[in-house]
């Protein structure tokens, strides 16, 4: 049994383009019986399918309010208004729900 046999994707929640070849996805997983929230970079694989990378964080779902508080603080410290998230080239980034 490899590690993927113990991880089940329960729901893909949202995603946004990180750049031309990668995206960031938020999803709910079951990891060895534990309910988790996963925010991870996905990149185009050899066959063109998007595959998860090691870049990301997987936390217990009960930690989501703390993650939200962290992101809200980062938005505030960056001087951004909630709801407007520049993507670095002057355009906006919209999450796919």
Give me the CATH code for the 3-77 domain, please: 2.30.31.10
* pTM more than 0.85: no
- Alpha-carbon span 38 to 80, nearest angstrom: 24
Q: Which positions ≥6 away from 57 have C-beta within 8 Å?
A: 38, 39, 40, 67
Question: For residues 15 and 26, is the Cβ–Cβ distance under 8 A?
Answer: yes
User: Which residues lie across from 9 on neighbouring strands?
Assistant: 29
Residue 52 tokens, joined: 């998860």
Confidence at residue 43, expressed as pLDDT on a 0 to 100 scale? 97
- Alpha-carbon span 21 to 85, nearest angstrom: 19
pLDDT tens for each residue of 50-87 = 999 999 999 999 999 999 999 999 999 999 876 655 55
């Amino acid at each position: 049994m490899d590690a993927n046999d113990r991880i089940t994707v329960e729901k893909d929640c949202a995603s946004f383009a990180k750049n031309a070849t990668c995206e960031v996805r938020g999803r709910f997983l079951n990891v060895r019986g534990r309910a988790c929230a996963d925010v991870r970079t996905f990149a185009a694989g050899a066959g063109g399918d998007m595959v998860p990378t090691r870049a990301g964080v997987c936390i217990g779902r009960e930690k989501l309010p703390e993650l939200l508080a962290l992101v809200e603080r980062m938005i505030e410290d960056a001087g951004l208004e909630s709801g407007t998230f520049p993507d670095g080239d002057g355009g906006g980034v919209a999450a796919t729900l």
